[in-house]
Amino acid sequence: MLHFSGGSIYSFRRMFDKLNDFFTTEPVELPGRGMRFAEELISDRQAAVNDLLQQILEKRNGQPFYIYGHSLGAEMGLLVTQQLERLNDGPAYLVVSGNPGPNVRDEKLYNVPSSYFWEKLNEWGGVSAEILANTELTEVFEPILRADFGILEKDTAPITGRIHTPVLALMGSEEKNVHKILNWKEYVNGAFSHRILSGNHFFIYDHINTVCEMIINCKRTLSASRSGN
């Protein structure tokens, strides 16, 4: 499970109870937050991919596995899956949410003034009201968020290549680029499906049961397909 910008291994804890009956959930996180708070933040795309890839490889046990990523985690999920497929150890399914896919960037935020930075995040529904209302929290989260946005924005080389792993893409109806969700198909050779749920960038928290059920159904679909063969 790959977190969003500003997230950590704790970001999906509300999903664990639903998923743990079907999966061994393994959240991973980038340095500079959560259990890795003391480590130096990174804002380089390839460094982030390498970091997440290494964590996943250390957890691999030879069993089929699934990757779920939200927002930043969705794009990282695609890039990590590309690397895993090159190692002949790709996931059984990739589920991405809160992201219209690679190379869709309207505006870079990682280096804008602080007031504008928070104004845009609030406008996009990309940060909780709790953080916005607490100066101490904004001071803690701003460098983390800027580093994470840097991962997405600093490297101007377009992301290319397709994966063979099946993909399910989810977005919230109020997200700015929800109309571009089919952009994901440009990076997928395998099966692709998508669904739009009501809500803003953090729609997943309004639809915990639905999102988890769709992830579980990816496993059921593959199991049924293999049984049929």
Q: Could you list the mean pLDDT of each consecutive 10-residue stretch along the chain, which spans 229 residues?
A: 95 94 96 96 98 97 96 97 98 97 88 90 75 85 95 94 97 94 96 96 95 95 69
What pLDDT score was predicted for residue 135?
A: 85
Residue pair 41/31 in contact by the 8 Å Cβ criterion: yes
Residue pair 28/52 in contact by the 8 Å Cβ criterion: yes
What pLDDT score was predicted for residue 113?
A: 93
Residue burial 101-125, b: 16+ Cβ < 10 Å; e: rest: bbeeeeeebbeeeeeebbeebeebb
In the chain, alpha helices (H): 13-19, 45-59, 72-86, 114-124, 129-132, 135-153, 208-228
Instruction: Please report, for the chain, the start and end positions of each structural domain, with discontinuous segments joined by +.
Output: 13-228
CA distance 148 to 182: 24
Cβ neighbours, 10 Å, residue 47: 13
Looking at the domain covering 13-228, what would its CATH class be?
alpha beta
